[in-house]
Structure 1
């Protein structure tokens, strides 16, 4: 079954047209004044929400645990600092900022890229990729997925009833040399100790992160890691696809689910190109605007056609 691990949760919807996709996005965004969603687009609905560090460890044949993740993460950070990275304006940046920068250049981390802009996430969900289940259809574009992840645990300031879960990177360096190493790791370790995911917001976003209105979500490794939320410590209650459909397509009425952990919106291969046109013409979502750097030019620039 296409996207089976997402459908198994019950929290999904399959729009029948490009216009219905846009309508559903608007309905998710207005689900409630106290709901905050992080958006992520997957070009193939058979992908899971998995960190690059988790995938790296699986590729190595490891049994992924929080202990192993932390050990590898700290090893990467130590090596990066020995390399001379993690310095901005003559000062050391904290671990979370360094992880964000490493993630940008393809080094595996526990951070998962998300965006506050659903149109940006939709651009990624409408990318063309080969259908992995049939090697004979190499030109066939797989069904994509737009994920709206609810963050009821989002909290910028610690209170008596709830801990801080949003961490702004690059805090002021500690006053003494002896406190320096511990100070750089304070926010990262505080996030890992939480029972919920946490948000990493960069104080020094690079041009790509600004253009994509991006930030990161991470968490300690869940004790029972199962698809599709492989790398996030989130308990997902069973969902009902019919209730989700009603919630997203009909007028609000009593009796609908108050809890909405996430919504997985399937983006059919037949509507990907039409949605790309919407995104380009109405929302200025193009490779040029989303990847305004040298790496983006390398990957998406038309210079290749001149060779």
Structure 2
């Protein structure tokens, strides 16, 4: 996997302008450059035979979340996308077709954030093979890496230009399952976070646009306080 070190917002724009027009690019922002391309369920050590395993917590989520949803999911793929966007550990990895949204997630901070880690944006390069039709099989029966556009069952997925990758073994880093030329990692120094957030806000990329609900409005105002200091 190629690693690219950039030192400004303009450097990122220049890199983006070098992309090939007949190729699709997908982006994933991470707050720490050490974060790997491992789905959240793969980062948890679940003992064999544990009652609260991946499938069980998914079933419990489906049983309890329905009253709070404006859209009733029609299959487990839609359910899994909703679960992922509401924080349930799943075998999905979030991607976006908008590089600025990936930068938002890479630079997102809380009031008590004093991290000094560099932040990163992963780039997934695809010329073909993006799946727009829901597969016939269960997400838990996937035996190869897939990049999917799951229907926008929530406004969050829509506003984040969301796509997902899924793989057979969620404990393996995604880049180990793909041709090395298909993944790049762009790394930025930590001190650029606040400057990047301010620039993103001028483009309308902030918590209220990415999370179009009351939580997003509150988060955007909180971040405005952070970046004014």
Smaller-chain TM-score bracket: 0.7 to 0.9
Name 1:23's counterpart in structure 2: 14
Name 2:88's counterpart in structure 1: 107
- 1:234 and 2:177 are equivalent in the alignment: yes
> CA, structure 1 residues 83+125, in 2 after alignment: closer, same or farther (shift >3 Å)?
closer
| Structure 2 contact 208–219 (Cα < 8 Å) conserved | no
Give the secondary-structure state (helix, strand or coil) at the position aligned to 2:114: coil
Q: Quick check: which has more Rg, 1 or 2?
A: 1
Unpaired runs of at least 5, structure 2: none
> CA, structure 1 residues 103+31, in 2 after alignment: closer, same or farther (shift >3 Å)?
same
| Structure 1 contact 41–146 (Cα < 8 Å) conserved | yes
> CA, structure 1 residues 81+139, in 2 after alignment: closer, same or farther (shift >3 Å)?
closer
- 1:150 and 2:98 are equivalent in the alignment: no
> CA, structure 1 residues 145+129, in 2 after alignment: closer, same or farther (shift >3 Å)?
farther
> CA, structure 1 residues 271+81, in 2 after alignment: closer, same or farther (shift >3 Å)?
closer
- Structure number having the greater strand percentage: 2
Deviations along 1:1-38, one digit per CA (max 9) or x if unpaired, are xxxxxxxx4x01111333112211222xx2351x2221
Give the secondary-structure state (helix, strand or coil) at the position aligned to 2:105: helix
> CA, structure 1 residues 86+21, in 2 after alignment: closer, same or farther (shift >3 Å)?
same
Structure 2 distance, partners of 1:277, 1:81, is: 38
> CA, structure 1 residues 202+120, in 2 after alignment: closer, same or farther (shift >3 Å)?
same
Name 1:261's counterpart in structure 2: 182
TM-score w.r.t. length of structure 1: 0.61
> CA, structure 1 residues 104+84, in 2 after alignment: closer, same or farther (shift >3 Å)?
closer
| Structure 1 contact 114–215 (Cα < 8 Å) conserved | yes
| Structure 2 contact 147–166 (Cα < 8 Å) conserved | yes
Calculate the aligned-residue CA RMSD, in Å: 3.5
C-alpha displacement of 1:91 = 6.3
Aligned length: 223
Structure 2 distance, partners of 1:124, 1:90, is: 26
